[in-house]
Chain A
Amino acid sequence: MTPVVTVVDLHTDIALSKGTVRPVSGVSFTVNKGESLGIVGESGCGKTMTALSIMRLLPPGGRIVGGSIALADVDLVAMDEAGMRRIRGDRVGMIFQDPMTSLNPCMTIGDQVSETVLLHREVTREHARERAAEVLDLVGLPHAKERMNSYPHLLSGGMRQRVVIAMALACDPELLIADEPTTALDATIQKQILELIDDLRTRLDMAVILVTHDLGVIAGHTDRVAVMYAGKIMETSPTPELFANPRHPYTEALFRARPENAGSDRKLYAIPGLPPDLSDPPRGCRFAARCAYATEECRAQEPELTGDNHAFACFHPLGINQQAAPNPPTPLATAQAAAPLLEVRNLVREFPVTSNGVLQRKIGAISAVADVSFTVGAEETFGLVGESGCGKSTISRLLVAADTPTSGSITFDGIEITGKSNRELRKYRGDFQLMFQDPYASLDPRMRVGSILREPLVIQHRGSAVDQENAVVRLLDEVGLPRTALRQYPHEFSGGQRQRIGLARALALRPKLIVADEPVSALDVSVQAQILNLMRDLQREHRLTYVFISHDLSVVRYVATTIGVMYLGKLVEIGPAEQVYTAPVHPYTRGLIDTIPLADPQRERRKSKAGVRGELPSAMNPPSGCRFRTRCPRASDKCAVEEPLMLPFSVQGHRAACHHPLRSPIPLSTSAHTAPPRP
């Protein structure tokens, strides 16, 4: 085992105008040749700064103040800038999070990949381009040679990330650092990219550092794990051991916060509070303030990272077989079978595509939502899942009448809301509200929280000024924010707190329905758990109905009573949550389930070959017949010709549209196929 990179007691500071932040304080690890180390933790824990320290690409004010980083034989801390430039891109390659911004839009991908080669190797332009074609082929870019002259905007997100990986690999680096390489990608693409990195590691015998917030990503794709919290490594061990037997309470908390591990009738374990402010870290164990097991000792003294193979920094480690108390129960919402609140019939939304000329001729249409029908019962949670671009966000906008459908109808509480003017809709708007995905963009940065929460009440003329103020205070209590928040601005809050404010605003008018469009996908797993718990509590309290939209099937499975799976504008499968999740019928649903990264190394490795392959086709020219057929392992000629109908698969309303389902449908006579389909 030859160590490729050895980091010893690394300390990194970032000087800001208001003091110094210490995002990395005493991190040590070694990565051997051909080995993969996963660094995991919440955001703001110093993971990325550790990676950037190795590259010596710290943000302005950032500086390594102590420790050493040895790349094979050279010390990177002492290296001058010119020397570092020779190392970056040559001996150490890096993959950044967002493939949309890490490629230069003005350069062809061939030029971008060969640029790295030209910088580090004494070769001609032709040789560099040959090498570029070779690595682009290596990372699985289809028709790499022909694509050399394409510009990045012509490629999909997953393809761009492959190009970014090719750039990192162009000079055969000894070490590859991947900083959240798949966070901006869909689960189906994430799986393909992670497998690619794995495969390249074994083939090229590289060392890999995989930085991620997702324990599931770590499980299947790393040999060792380091759990970071507040700038320190809390626990580190070989991957299977950490997952089988986490010793540090923080690691355990991260596990318990994952919705895939919780029964849908149990609360998620939410780590209370937030990571500490790293400009003034607490004395003692840094996790003590949020730890369920902390004692006086933890607050007074800092535990050392001890142990050989499986090291952890804790005075009160969890025992080998010590089972934590199960999460408290939370009753699952159940549909009031008698009363459908929302009925969607044959919904179609097409966006015209116009030519660039002055006349803007219509040259086609993007079929974002194509003939979707479903019913949502009062007080249930309807979960809608699918890859990005499948039309789920378009549906959310249609449901709250932010957009008008091309055809079809939406009936809310017995009232047809399509085709009504804005003026007519105004009086119904209080009954259905939208909760946004991005907690940063959905709150007006110039308004205090008090005014933000009061705005809906003012618009709808609910009560007097005093009533409104009381209502706002009550809302803050309900979502668990202190009353001091009233006078603060949104930017003073963390992402999770902002999402609480967003939820409070959606609740202000006491709606019957809340459409939540990816409400937790911008949040850390621990904060995600807080918000999901809160949403379920509020649902019970206020008899709410949710339409919960997410790309993450494990989150939807946890919150939803009914799941609808969308693919390229079509609803392909719908049914009771447990049935869809445990016994899917449509090959696409099966594939989606297989792409969820599980926090269990054995299961994760076992399903390595399953999952949806390829990428979502263009919605402008959707495939004929079944739209999934281009990626479907079971597709036949029939699928290209005939569009499959929704067929029943259980009497509880489990239905799917597939010519070759994973099990046969129940006979039509026993189901009420002609009756309105009830989930």
Chain B
Amino acid sequence: MTAIPAGDATLQHSPKTHGFTRTMSAVLTNKLAVVGLGIIVAFILFCYAGPLIYHTDQIHIELSRAALPPSAAHPLGTNEVGYDQLGRLMVGGQTSLEVGIAAALLATVFGTVWGAIAGYTGSFIDSAMMRVVDALLAVPALFLLLFLASIARPTAWLLILVIALVSWLGPARLVRGAALSLRTRDFVTSARLMGGGPWRAVFRHIAPNAIGIVVVNATFQVADAILVLAALSFLGLGIPPPAANWGDMLSSGISYTYAGYWWLIYPPGLAIVCVVIAFNFLGDALRDSFDVRLQKR
């Protein structure tokens, strides 16, 4: 038996063998990703640690302080019913981020499992499963959202479910596409030849190998979900006050455009744009880092 001699170059340079560490180090070499990650962390701190330092009353309406421009007491002014705008941005951000991330997670997990099963099994099961996806895609998402939001009183949980319901279709199609090609790969065949069943193939081989596109897609899903929530709230079907989210704030601010209350419009609008862009940056960087072959160069 020939032992691999000591001069074997490929076996020595592998301090970074842990998957997570390797992904992170690859992400951190990408400047845009660092920017994206930085913005996300900053917003999370702002929304969750902010209220601990900057105390405001976001429950009681105080019309005597309505629509004040920015000042020392209220750095971003107050809104039309007298809530401090900066404090509201923090509280509203909590809802936006929570709903956004939770809806994206739910949609991604469900869509991945659906797509992986459909792609792996093939045949008529695949056709049936994908026709369900097509049928749901054919229903305009906004119509569905409006319908569901109008028959029930919106809560954060309901919104998460509703947003997930319209957004799992994308990941399902993506993963199915990947699964179709992955299932013909030798390593999936080899698992079958060892006696492994279909569940092992789906969950141990196909889903993990589709993880690259799944994670990338998930970050875009977070951004999308935040936007959908904003759109819903903009149409007045968001979570009812006194709860707040950025979309809500933007929507009520817009009605005062002609009054010149710019501080009601720009802060929530910018917050939405920044978070969405940050998640997109992160998604792009993750896509690069998950492609193992790109790392070799």
Contact = CB atoms under 8 A, between A and B. Distances in A.
B292 A494 contact: no
Given A434-B190, A460-B194, A446 B208 contact: yes
Q: For this complex, into which size category does the number of interface residues on chain B fall?
A: 20 to 34
A430 B4 contact: no
A273 B185 CA distance: 29
A612 interface: no
Contacts of B5: 272-273, 289-290
B11 A277 contact: no
B44 interface: no
A492 B10 contact: yes
Interface string A450-465: 0000011001100000
Contacts, number: 117
Interface in A485-499: 485, 487-489, 491-494, 497
B47 to A, nearest CB: 34
Interface string B186-225: 1101111111100010001100110100000000000000
Nearest to B210: A446
B3 interface: yes
Chain B residues touching A, majority SS: helix
Interface in A461-509: 478-482, 484-485, 487-489, 491-494, 497, 505, 509
Contacts of A446: 205, 208-209, 211
B14 A272 contact: no
Nearest to A485: B11
B191 to A, nearest CB: 7
A460 B208 CA distance: 22
Contacts of B205: 444, 446
A488 B2 contact: no
Contacts of A106: none
Interface in A263-296: 270, 272-274, 276-277, 289-290
Interface in B121-170: none
B7 A491 contact: no
Given A16-B297, A459-B196, A441 B2 contact: no
A492 B209 contact: no
Contacts of A441: 185-187
B9 interface: yes
B64 interface: no
B187 A277 contact: no
A596 B196 CA distance: 40
Contact of A17 (B11, B193, B297): B297
Nearest to B196: A459
Contacts of A482: 4, 11
Contacts of A270: 2
Contacts of A400: 193
A253 to B, nearest CB: 13
B1 interface: yes
Given A274-B8, A455-B196, A491 B191 contact: no
A635 interface: no
Interface stretch (A25-33, A125-133, A530-538): A530-538
B10 A497 contact: yes
A491 B10 CA distance: 10
A430 B195 contact: yes
Interface in A426-440: 426-427, 429-430, 433-434, 436, 438
A505 B209 contact: no
A150 interface: no
A17 B26 CA distance: 12
A525 interface: no
B297 A459 contact: no
Given A16-B297, A446-B208, A489-B17, A530 B2 contact: yes
B97 to A, nearest CB: 29
B296 interface: yes
A445 interface: yes
A444 B190 CA distance: 10
A126 to B, nearest CB: 44
Contact of A491 (B3, B11, B193, B292): B292
Nearest to A435: B190
Contact of B8 (A17, A273, A505): A273
B55 interface: no
Most chain A beta carbons < 10 A, residue from B3, B4, B196, B211: B4
A444 B209 contact: yes
Contacts of B293: 491
A276 B190 contact: no
A506 to B, nearest CB: 8
Contacts of B4: 273, 480-482, 497
A637 B280 CA distance: 71
A334 B186 CA distance: 31
B3 A494 contact: no
A534 B7 contact: no
Given A425-B195, A446-B209, A459-B196, A484 B187 contact: no
A94 interface: no
Nearest to B7: A289
Interface string A509-544: 100000000000000000000100110010000000
A555 to B, nearest CB: 17
Nearest to A14: B297
Contacts of B9: 274, 276-277
Contacts of B185: 441
A426 B198 CA distance: 12
A484 B12 CA distance: 9
Contacts of B211: 446
B2 A509 contact: no
A373 B17 CA distance: 48
Contacts of A289: 5, 7
A505 B17 contact: no
Given A445-B209, A482-B11, A494-B10, A534 B190 contact: no
Contacts of B7: 273-274, 276, 289-290
A312 to B, nearest CB: 22
Contact of B17 (A427, A488, A509): A488
Nearest to A517: B186
B186 A492 contact: no
A427 B292 contact: no
A272 B6 CA distance: 10
A402 interface: yes
A530 to B, nearest CB: 5
Given A274-B9, A430-B195, A481-B4, 6 more contacts: A272-B2, A274-B8, A290-B5, A402-B193, A480-B3, A537-B1
Interface of A: 16-17, 270, 272-274, 276-277, 289-290, 400-402, 422, 425-427, 429-430, 433-434, 436, 438, 441-448, 455-456, 459-460, 478-482, 484-485, 487-489, 491-494, 497, 505, 509, 530, 533-534, 537
10 contacts: A274-B7, A426-B195, A429-B193, A441-B186, A444-B187, A444-B209, A455-B191, A459-B191, A484-B11, A497-B10
List 3 A-B pairs, minimum CB-CB distance, nearest first. A442-B186, A429-B195, A426-B195
